[in-house]
Structure 1
């Protein structure tokens, strides 16, 4: 690996950060056309992937405090996108679930996400895309291990 310094834009750390930021920026712009903010699409994605997540767990996933998560969930509940259901074993906990309307919005959002990634990866061949995905998964796994997270 070649030696790079903090002023070198080709440093892998800068490139990883820039790629993630640029994909989010482009995706944000595209989902804004269907009326979603970044906070909303993040909540929709997390609750879609983890139906029944608690407000506390959602706050941890979003790396925000519980009060901020609560306000966001309140707004999304008023808009008819998220519903709170009581936990079966602990009445102090509400479990979050997407409404049918939110699932429709998520489907539209997912189509935009796929086209954004396809556009980003368009300079790569099918083989390069596969290699990129495999290498990225290895790095992600290592980082999850270092962070003590369960993959």
Structure 2
């Protein structure tokens, strides 16, 4: 039996994801933040205040990676941290006014990128695409 890596759906998907990720990062090059910082600020804008662990879970990154990211965002005055008074192990993060203004200014980058990404693809095809991705994920996580 012959396995062709170039025809492997997982390999193809991984390569496409890397290229899409890099393309969005390039769109943000002339802004004040990176792609991963944009994503963190987006989640904080959407959720107002959340624990550091919840943020790392939403971003699918390790707690240690989220910690370093949050350190940078806090250093740049974009977020602030606050310990939970009843459980000092829990750290909440939220946007500062500066962070809120920045992500509000940069949200159109995400909107434009997504619009460019799906250009020429019908709504029906996008629905099928999402169903197929969810099915593939369930196939390997169940």
TM-score normalised by structure 1 residue count: 0.71
Of 117, 120, 128, 1:120 maps to 117
1:130 to 1:92, Cα distance in 2 relative to 1, 3 A = closer
1:18 to 1:88, Cα distance in 2 relative to 1, 3 A = same
What is the number of residues matched between the two proteins?
A: 141
Paired residue for 1:82?
Answer: 79
Structure 2 unmatched ranges of 5 or more: none
Per-residue deviation at 1:82? 0.7
Q: 1:52, 1:95 within 8 Å by CA — same for their partners in 2?
A: yes
Per-residue deviation at 1:31? 1.3
TM-score normalised by structure 2 residue count: 0.74
Paired residue for 1:149?
Answer: none
RMSD, aligned CA: 3.0
In 2, the alpha carbon distance for the partners of 1:101 and 1:4 equals 55
1:123 to 1:5, Cα distance in 2 relative to 1, 3 A = farther
Where in structure 2 are the equivalents of 1:1-151 lying within 5 Å?
5-8=3-6, 10-59=7-56, 61-64=59-62, 66=64, 68-140=65-137, 142=138, 146=142
Q: Which runs of 4+ in 1 moved over 6 A?
A: none
Per-residue deviation at 1:80? 1.5
In 1, the alpha carbon distance for the partners of 2:2 and 2:117 equals 25
Structure 1 unmatched ranges of 5 or more: 147-151
